[in-house]
Amino acid sequence: MATTDVNMETAESSSSTTKPISSKKGQQQNATSPNGNSAEDGAVDDNGDLATNAEDMTSRDYYFDSYAHFGIHEEMLKDEVRTLTYRNAMYHNKHLFKGKTVLDIGCGTGILSMFAAKAGAARVIAVECSNIIDYAQKIIEANHLDEVITLVKGKVEEIELPHGIDKVDIIISEWMGYCLFYESMLDTVLYARDKWLRPNTGMMFPDRCTLFVSAIEDRQYKD
């Protein structure tokens, strides 16, 4: 059996109620309620553009934006081992989070951002590219954490951090997929690390992983 260790500290990249949600390159867009009727929240316009609001999305939109569907996030949240491991990692290290600025890459429903906020983070920047961010906004507000957590919609490679923040103390992310690398988020996390993580003192959760590989022979199934 072979093992592969990935150290996030040394790995190199291969290449409301409404509150403002930051968009690309410092621009701002209003985060209206998912039940709003504004044109910005519409489904598909006459030009065939994709919906920008989760509740207005059709199957066509979900094809291009699969992570906007709550079902995917429900499956992950129901994985108790995964969810509790992330929670315990933060709750058992509150001294590391107290008063710090945290960046959550691919926040989804905002679960890790809320863990970080409850662990004592002074500010959490939660970045999400898909339209699930509409629900994340409501969930965060329902938990009364919207004064700590700021949502930013867009690709990590295209956004700027809000509030004039140029460095963060901690990066959290659930970047691991099937067979560790399936979701291909590692490059994005490394990009964020190189651009925003405070040198020398910055931390990442998680910062390393181990992949076990074993060869098999499956001729009997092919025959």
Active site residues: 174, 183
Alpha helices by DSSP H, listed for 22-160, are 59-64, 70-77, 80-91, 94-97, 111-118, 133-142
How far is it, in rounded angstroms, from Cα 132 to Cα 172?
A: 18
Beta strands in 106-207 (DSSP E): 123-128, 149-153, 170-173, 203-205
How far is it, in rounded angstroms, from Cα 21 to Cα 83?
A: 26
Q: Which residues contact 163 (CB under 8 A, 6 or more apart)?
A: 123, 150
